[in-house]
Amino acid sequence: MTADTVPPRPPIVVLCGSTRFWDAFIEAALYETVAGRIVLAPGCNLKTPHPLWDDPARADRLKRVLDDLHLRKIDLADDVLIVNPGGYIGESTRREIAYARSLGKPIRYTHPAPDHA
């Protein structure tokens, strides 16, 4: 395969939003993948019990690490999809939206977004 026969890289989308809507993330990832996009998303849900974050202090440290990791995913993405059932956008998601905007990333929403998002 030569350089001129390699297809262009598919667009990369990062999913942002509250992991309380984990099922909505799975659904959004499915639709984005079928649409031909590379999907970056949260890799774990701290709202679901797991031995890796069963200690509150460890969970707090892990949340900070995961929040920073998610910003790096935004860096890599071509656009951002906010998973926001019912229009919900929490504090962490607002921060991610502000960060994506500062980078000039296009932002889409799964549901109508409130004006302040």
Q: Looking at the chain, which runs of residues are DSSP E strands?
A: 12-17, 38-40, 79-83, 107-109
Range from 21-25, 76-80, 102-106, 112-116 carrying the lowest mean pLDDT: 112-116
pLDDT in tens, 90-110: 999 999 999 999 999 999 999
Chain segment 50-72, per-residue pLDDT in tens: 999 999 999 999 999 999 999 99
Helix, strand and coil in the chain, % to nearest 5: 50, 15, 35
* Percent residues over pLDDT 70 in the chain: 95
Instruction: Indicate if the pLDDT at residue 116 is higher than 60.
Output: no
